[in-house]
Amino acid sequence: MDMLTEEQIETFKKRLLKEKAKTEGYMDSREETYDEGELSHYDNHPADSGEELFLRERDQALNELDEEFLSDVDKALLAIQNGTYGKCEVCGKDIELDRLEVIPEATLCIEHARAQEEEEHAHELDRPVEEDVLNPNETARRKELDGTDQPGQKTDAFSQVEDYGSSDTIADSEGNHDPTREQ
């Protein structure tokens, strides 16, 4: 790709500024929704409180995404100001024009963007540490990915925990319950 022309850069700058203003507007409107609240929730139905909590959490998650987006936009605007817009901030290669047209806030080439995304989401494949304690052999097997299973080994966590006892009483055990027996 050839370097971007001044006209192209100006077009991208206008798009970035427009997206920034629109996103900030969304964030402001979400904040205004919760500015006016009741002083007491005493007479509210629990479902109303649950719905309000859900909506607040949803809006908080959306605001976090918007803040991340605004950070990317600010980084791209700074690159325009510094004269480095359209170049990957890691390797310095030109970012493809098609990529910039779809994602004008991009400051990484596609290869480095993928690598960064893989790094950010690598922890999502991790299993809870509690599974290591419950079944260390299964965890080791899964880590090796060899596909073999040890015969007779309980693989679900509930079965392993149940070996330590349950809240069942003697009356609950097999053979002690006769529904036809009169009391």
Encoded amino acid at 172, one letter: D
Tokens of 46: 């629990």
Give pTM, 2 decimals: 0.59
> Do the domain assignments include residue 119?
yes
pLDDT at 140 over 90: no
Residue 177 included in any domain:
no
Q: Do residues 28 and 20 make contact, with C-beta atoms less than 8 angstroms apart? A: no
Whether the per-residue pLDDT at 167 is higher than 60: the answer is: yes
Looking at residue 146, its pLDDT comes to 45
Bridge partners for 87 per DSSP: 94
Domain boundary, last residue among 108, 127, 158: 108
Pair (24, 52) in one structural domain: yes
* Tens digits of residue pLDDT in 47-93: 777 888 888 899 899 999 999 999 999 999 999 999 999 999 999 99
Q: Are residues 26 and 96 in the same domain?
A: yes
Query: Are 88 and 107 contacting, i.e. CB atoms less than 8 angstroms apart?
Result: yes
Q: Does the structure show a pLDDT above 80 at 42?
A: no
What pLDDT band is residue 150 in, cutting at 50, 70 and 90? very low
In a domain, 182, yes or no: no
Contact 23, 16 (CB under 8 A): no
Share of the chain above pLDDT 70, in %: 67
Residue 115 falls within a domain, yes or no?
yes
Give 111's pLDDT tier (boundaries 50, 70, 90).
Answer: very high
Q: Same structural domain for residues 80 and 133?
A: no
Residue 121 located in a structural domain: yes
Tally of domains within the chain: 2
Q: Using the structure block, give the residue that is written with the tokens 């507007």.
A: 25
42 in any annotated domain: no
Query: CATH number of the domain that 80 lies in?
Result: 1.20.120.910
Q: How many CB atoms lie within 10 A of CB 175?
A: 5
Q: Which of 108, 125, 159 is the last residue of a domain?
A: 108
- 82 lies in some domain: yes
Residue 174 lies in a domain: no
Instruction: Give the integer Cα–Cα distance in Å for 120 and 14.
Output: 30
**For tokens 């817009």, what's the residue?**
85
Mean of the per-residue pLDDT values of the chain: 79
Same domain, 52 and 93: yes
**Number of neighbours of residue 150 by Cβ within 10 angstroms:** 9
Q: What does the pLDDT read at residue 181?
A: 56
14 and 92 in a single domain? The answer is yes
- Per the structure, the complete domain to which residue 100 belongs is given by 6-35+48-108
Q: Tell me the pLDDT band of 155, cut-offs 50, 70 and 90.
A: low
